[in-house]
Amino acid sequence: MKQEQAEVIALQAVAFIGADERALNGLMAQSGAGIDDLRNQINDPAFLAGVLDFLLSDESALLAFCGDVELAPEFVVSARRALPGGENLWDG
């Protein structure tokens, strides 16, 4: 997957998380970021990677997101691999 495609998936994840107060609070707690930080970093591929890390750490949120955007969970994993820091994730 190309980085641009991965960023689109991550932006969809941001919108999904932003619409769910529990998930948004979880992301902010895990990242230490506030709402203004999230807004300011929305175009940063490393931030988007962190959003996908958060989503991948919560199976129920991941499955809800995938159902919402009609995407297989494997595509979220592929998207994470395409973003900064993901090159060697989940290698066997």
| Burial of 49: CB neighbours in 10 Å, binned 0-12, 13-18, 19+ | buried
Residues listed for the chain: 92
**Alpha-carbon gap, residue 80 to 87, rounded angstroms:** 9
* pTM tops 0.85, yes or no: yes
Positive or negative torsion for Cα 3, 43, 74, 85: positive
What is the per-residue pLDDT across 27-81, written as a single tens digit (0 to 9) for each? Answer: 889 888 888 988 899 999 999 999 999 999 989 999 999 999 999 999 999 999 9
